[in-house]
Amino acid sequence: MSAEYLNSIVREAMPLEHLKKQGIFFTGDDLAHEAASSISEDLGTKSKVLDPACGSGNLLIAMSKYLPVRKALGATLKLWSGILHGYELNPKFVQIAKRRLVLEAINRGAKIDVHGAEEASELLTNIKLHNALDKSSKHKKYTHIIMNPPYNPMPNNGDSLWTATSKVNAAALFTKFYLEKTPAGSKFVAILPEVLRSGFRYREWRNHVAGMIDGHIEPKGQFDSKTYIDVFVLSGTGTNGKENLIKWEDTPKSPYKSRIEDYFDVSVGPLVAYRDKLAGTKAPYIYPKNVEPWKKSNPQSEYRKYSGRLIKPPFVVIRRTSSPRDKHRAVASVITGKTAIAVENHFIVCRPKSGRVNDCVTLMRNCKENLTNDYLNTLIRCRHLTVSSVKSIPVNME
């Protein structure tokens, strides 16, 4: 039974929106086998493998393919039980994972010598219901850790690694928790959301992780055809706190030596529509739906009161929402006029140091080039551009 077929069955039983809300994304066969292969070299009968978010068992199945099979099913499952460990909060997924491993052993030639799927499944005693982030539980010395953790927001538990926010991506918590418990020399691989690789909020997380693993990352693009999240694979060997360097991003090539930050001051639009009160100066108000892309305009269509910082034209606005699947990553518009503007925070604002409209028009032209798309698709594949990524875009201002 392939992971893709099983995933389709689970998705029929559980609405996709529910799975997304819980941050549940089932690993496909190809990605699971690639992850398992990266840490399988020294896998043996003395190994202890853990998937702390095992779901329906896709990664454990992939790891089992590197394990020997005994003549009898019972002996095979007892052997695998000593090696394969999995944690999961959903009891249905625990049963699915166990039964899939039973089928895997049978498909690989183990002769059935137990009565029924239930009895066979119970031999896999180390795949169980357990809160993988329970700090009070004893942690075994695993030789291999493999995971595709949930990607949903979770409380940050007051950890100083995070910026001032009450919630962080669960995958960051899982990775940090288990790398800190990974003995030096143990193998580690995780399938993680792109925001951890390139998001501004996770820069301290990246620095922390780099000190615990001698490894590398590999961007993998979109998770699957139904999940519009880009992912990467982090793999390597635990270092137990020794300093190592991970190259979190490739350096995109460009014929241009200048960057946007050389000619523009870059910031996020200061107005937060749902939070800021309608008080203060009445000013023209812009947000993505009332500014036409790739045009030069003097906003006069909408006004609102705003007591925060207004921005005086000319300047360029670039839409923060940006996906690698969009035709253009840095969708820009030029704002002109003499009246200061209230700019919503869904824009990144580029104010020319020269104060010239022509520089704004030139930047807008640069944003539309394929070179800019290629640069951003190499640098940052999450669905929101950051100030730092926009600052670094190479430009030709001649």
Q: What is the pLDDT of residues 243-290, one digit of tens each?
A: 667 888 777 788 999 999 999 999 999 999 999 999 999 999 999 999
Residues 211/244, Cβ–Cβ less than 8 Å:
yes
pLDDT, residue 381, reads 84
Cis peptide before 394 (omega within 30 of 0): no
Residue with more model confidence, 229 or 83: 83
Residue 165 has pLDDT above 70, yes or no: no
What confidence score (pLDDT) does residue 309 get? 96
**Side-chain half-sphere CA neighbours of 189 within 13 A:** 20
Taking residues 82-99, what's their average pLDDT?
Answer: 94
Q: Residue holding tokens 């066979």?
A: 120
State the Cα–Cα distance between residues 137 and 134, nearest whole angstrom: 6
With a threshold of 0.85, does the pTM exceed it?
A: no
Average pLDDT over residues 340-361: 98
Among 109-123, 139-153, 216-230, which is the least confidently predicted range?
216-230
Q: Which domains does the chain have, with CATH numbers?
A: 3-238 (3.40.50.150), 258-395 (3.90.220.20)
Confidence of residue 141 (pLDDT cuts 50, 70, 90): confident
Average pLDDT over residues 302-319: 97
Residue pLDDT, tens place only, 51-72: 999 999 999 999 999 999 999 9
What share of the chain has pLDDT > 90, as a percent? 66
Side by side, the strands of the sheet bearing 127-129 are 127-129, 84-88, 49-51, 144-147, 187-193, 227-238, 213-224
Q: pLDDT value at position 22?
A: 46
pLDDT at 162: 63
Average pLDDT value over all residues in the chain: 88
pLDDT surpassing 50 at residue 24: no
Average pLDDT, stretch 175-188? 90
CA-angle at 59, arms to 54 and 62, nearest 5°: 150
CB neighbour list of residue 111: distance below 8 Å, 6 or more residues apart: 71, 72, 73
Q: Is the pLDDT of residue 166 over 60?
A: yes
As a whole number of angstroms, the distance between CA 79 and CA 67 comes to 9
Number of other CB atoms surrounding residue 90 within 10 Å: 16
Core vs surface per residue 291-321: b (16+ CB within 10 A) or e: beeeeebebeeeebebeeebbebbbbbbbbe
pLDDT for 228 equals 67
Cα 80 → chain centroid: 31
- Residue 262 or residue 166, greater confidence: 262
Q: Which residue has the higher pLDDT, 25 or 54?
A: 54
Mean pLDDT of the region 278-304: 95
Residues 292-304, mean pLDDT to the nearest whole number: 95
pLDDT at residue 20, as a whole number: 47
Q: How far is CA 191 from CA 93, 164, 235, in A?
A: 19, 25, 9
Torsion sign across C-alpha atoms 180, 186, 189, 194: positive
Grade residue 189 by pLDDT with cuts at 50, 70 and 90.
very high
